[in-house]
Structure 1
Amino acid sequence: MKKKHYLVLIGLIIIAILLKIRPNNKVHSLPKTNDVIGFSLINIVDGRGLEKWTISDKDDIEKFLQILEHSKKTNKESVSDFPNKNNFILVSFGMSDGGYIRNSIYEEDKSLYFEQAYVGIYELSYKDISSFLKSSVKEEDKETISKDLEDILKNNF
């Protein structure tokens, strides 16, 4: 009887270990489409915001969130608020409760990444992002800005 209990216990431990090491490809903390009132893409170069696009169409918000949702989790860790890059895109989701969720997109080694601060880094599809940008982000919606990243973050920009 004791042997049977040990076998069951060992089996449960093995299952727990397998579940723990199983890769999780989901983006863990994306907001729900209905909770987002809009989002901004801000081109950050050397710590300054230079260009800003604001998207508030619900269909476009849903498309963008689906692209992020289908990204692949990498083994890289997010250890800061923003990537240690000279150039990146700040993605700022305006939430219906008045807050903001800020993430970033950057390029490295000919790959495109979406980084959720302290959560994870996910690889994006160039094809999906390019398609979204062509269909949803219009040149006439671009706003030329010149603001330090700290000012953008302080002023709910």
Structure 2
Amino acid sequence: MKKYLGLALVLIAILSLTACGGSNKKISLPKAEEVKEIEIMKNTSEESLKIEDQEEISGIIEEIRENTNDTGKESVNDQPTNIKDYIIVKFHYKNAKASPSIAYLYKDKNSRYVEQPYSGIWKLREETFDEISGKLIK
């Protein structure tokens, strides 16, 4: 009986350690040198802003990459669900075969997020969200 109890305790310890270990998955963004243009638009508008300056492209990609934290939530749709307004960020590659990859930026319950379809959802720093969304107002 003690043998089974000991085995059960070991199994419970292993399961609790693996269940609590957060993945902290990093967002997967293209390398700046692979991108010829970033297109930013609101889902409610047909107008878009196209950024072709390589330095600005690099800055946007780095800003998103450095200011996201994994939420542990999965993205299971082509676009955010239950979100009325969001910003679409398209990364158009120099190699047209891989073009474009898409990320969605949005606010939900006083937090900002980046969602990559079928890849994941990351929390985004408010200043980064405001900087990118502010480009559409200019």
State the TM bucket, normalised to the shorter chain: 0.7 to 0.9
| Residues 32, 83 of structure 1: alpha-carbon distance in 2 compared, 3 angstrom cutoff | same
Q: CA RMSD in A?
A: 2.4
| Residues 66, 38 of structure 1: alpha-carbon distance in 2 compared, 3 angstrom cutoff | same
In structure 2, the residue corresponding to 1:83 is in which secondary structure?
Answer: coil
Query: Which runs of no fewer than 5 residues in structure 1 stay unpaired?
Result: 1-9, 141-157
Query: Which runs of no fewer than 5 residues in structure 2 stay unpaired?
Result: 1-9
Large movers: runs of 4+ above 2 Å: 20-23, 128-134, 137-140
Distance 1:139 1:78 in 2: 28
Distance 1:115 1:81 in 2: 10
Q: How many residues align?
A: 119
The TM-score, its normalising length taken from structure 1, stands at 0.66
Superposed CA offset, 1:117-157 (max 9, x none): 111101111113334565xx3756xxxxxxxxxxxxxxxxx
The TM-score, its normalising length taken from structure 2, stands at 0.74
1:67 is matched with 63
1:87 is matched with 85
Superposed CA offset, 1:1-38 (max 9, x none): xxxxxxxxx9xxx6xx76x93432411x2100100001
Higher strand proportion: 1
Per-residue deviation, 1:77 = 1.5
